């Protein structure tokens, strides 16, 4: 294990003056009406600088998926605003916990899917999809159907598909939650490597404090529902970083601190007043 290069807790991502890629202002969302109204989210403010990797942790049911679905344009906010600023018409790409890949398409066709939607010419789309399959170690299974693959490989297909469209913003909703601990560690390290190369602005939701600390430029803690941001911490590690930061004393200290912040919220979500 080498020196994980701890640094003071200062911003490591884009300059704070850069215009945000994603901004949420006083965002709220409720479901149902009248006496049955369930306030699911907010009010919540959030800002992602270009190239920044922001992780959100919070108790189950606090509104994390609701936030991501609003960011992806799949759900409207009840009030407030969410704006995304991209230089190109490329959409934000979303990766779900349950992979969201199509079982009736081959691995190659799955990875090419977003490019087909963008009407990238077939030859070029094939080449780019193969390039991403190679980067994710999936070239050998390009012609296979996802049902024949392991959970880890299916999730790699989902990541390759999302990154193949070269999105300006990546939205990830607990993408590794269904995987076992070892595989999860491997995919975290791969994602770290990939996003540090591509500098894709990423909003990443997770239950795992370790995952948030390894991956994030910032870790935001959400309250019990309706979720608001109640704390923010910057893992004190240089970029590019590697999975070695897991063994740093600062890592353990930050994990304990985040857990202290989160513990009460988890209890509140589980046993509402
Ligand atoms: P999390 O991702 O943090 O576990 P969610 O965003 O999935 O939380 O859900 C937040 C709250 O909103 C929960 O109480 C959930 O039951 C409720 N909720 C989410 N989606 C809907 C929906 N479509 N209809 C009604 N309630 C919903």
Q: What is the mean pLDDT for each group of 10 consecutive residues in the chain (273 residues)?
A: 46 61 96 92 96 95 94 93 82 70 94 89 94 89 94 88 86 86 86 89 94 97 95 96 96 97 87 72
Tokens of 128: 């780019």
Q: Are residues 200 and 140 in the same domain?
A: no
Q: Which of residues 126, 142, 166 is at a domain's end?
A: 166
* 14 falls within a domain: no
* 97 falls within a domain: no
Residue 33 CA to ligand 1 center (angstroms) comes to 15
Q: Are residues 263 and 176 in the same domain?
A: yes
* 10 falls within a domain: no
pLDDT score, position 17: 63
Element (H, E) at 107: helix 107-117
pLDDT score, position 142: 96
Residue 87 CA to ligand 1 center (angstroms) comes to 31
Question: Domain range spanning residue 35?
Answer: 22-91+170-270
CA distance 111 to 164: 7
Q: Are residues 69 and 195 in the same domain?
A: yes
Q: Are residues 218 and 194 in the same domain?
A: yes
Ligand 1: atom nearest CA of 62 is 3
Ligand 1 test: best mutation among 66, 96, 98, most atoms within 8 Å of CB?
66
Q: Are residues 135 and 221 in the same domain?
A: no
Contact present, 62 and 222 (Cβ < 8 Å): yes
Residue 206 CA to ligand 1 center (angstroms) comes to 15
Q: Are residues 261 and 179 in the same domain?
A: yes
Q: Are residues 179 and 162 in the same domain?
A: no
* 2 falls within a domain: no
* 16 falls within a domain: no
* 5 falls within a domain: no
CA distance 127 to 124: 5
Q: Are residues 194 and 238 in the same domain?
A: yes
Q: Are residues 216 and 123 in the same domain?
A: no
- Helices and strands: H and E segment counts in the chain: 7, 9
Q: Are residues 124 and 52 in the same domain?
A: no
Ligand 1: atom nearest CA of 32 is 25
Assess whether the C-beta atom of 222 lies below 6 angstroms from ligand 1.
Answer: no
The total of structural domains in the chain comes to 2
Ligand 1 test: best mutation among 61, 77, 226, most atoms within 8 Å of CB?
61
Write the CATH number for 247: 3.40.50.300
Assess whether the C-beta atom of 65 lies below 6 angstroms from ligand 1.
Answer: yes
Q: Which of residues 142, 166, 190 is at a domain's end?
A: 166
pLDDT score, position 7: 47
pLDDT score, position 26: 97
Question: Of all protein residues, whose CA lies closest to atom 10 belonging to ligand 1?
Answer: 63
pLDDT score, position 91: 64
Q: Are residues 153 and 116 in the same domain?
A: yes
DSSP 33-51: -GGG-EEEEEEEEEEE-TT
pLDDT score, position 245: 97
| Residue in the block written with tokens 């296979």 | 144
Q: Are residues 187 and 59 in the same domain?
A: yes
What value, to the nearest 5°, has the Cα angle with vertex 247 and ends 230 and 8? Answer: 55
């Amino acid at each position: 294990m080498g020196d994980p290069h701890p640094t003071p807790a200062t911003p490591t991502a884009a300059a704070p003056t850069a215009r945000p890629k994603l901004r949420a202002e006083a965002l709220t969302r409720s479901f149902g009406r009248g006496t049955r109204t369930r306030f699911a989210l907010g009010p919540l403010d959030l800002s992602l600088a270009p190239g920044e990797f922001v992780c959100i942790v919070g108790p189950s049911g606090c509104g994390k998926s609701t936030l991501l679905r609003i960011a992806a344009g799949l759900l409207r906010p009840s009030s407030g605003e969410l704006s995304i600023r991209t230089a190109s018409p490329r959409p934000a790409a979303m990766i779900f916990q349950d992979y969201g890949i199509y079982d009736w398409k081959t691995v190659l066709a799955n990875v090419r899917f977003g490019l087909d939607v963008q009407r990238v010419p077939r030859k070029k789309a094939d080449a780019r999809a193969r390039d991403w399959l190679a980067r994710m170690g999936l070239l050998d299974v390009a012609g296979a159907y996802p049902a024949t693959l392991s959970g880890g490989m299916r999730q790699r297909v989902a990541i390759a598909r999302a990154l193949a469209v070269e999105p300006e913003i990546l939205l990830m909703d607990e993408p590794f939650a269904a995987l076992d601990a070892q595989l999860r560690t491997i995919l975290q390290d791969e994602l770290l490597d990939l996003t540090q190369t591509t500098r894709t602005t990423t909003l990443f939701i997770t239950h795992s404090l370790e995952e948030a600390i390894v991956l994030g430029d910032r870790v935001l803690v959400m309250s019990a529902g309706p979720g608001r941001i109640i704390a923010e911490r910057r893992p004190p590690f240089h970029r590019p970083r590697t999975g070695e930061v897991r063994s740093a004393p600062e890592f353990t200290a930050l994990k304990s601190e985040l857990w202290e912040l989160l513990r009460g919220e988890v209890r509140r979500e589980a046993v509402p007043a």
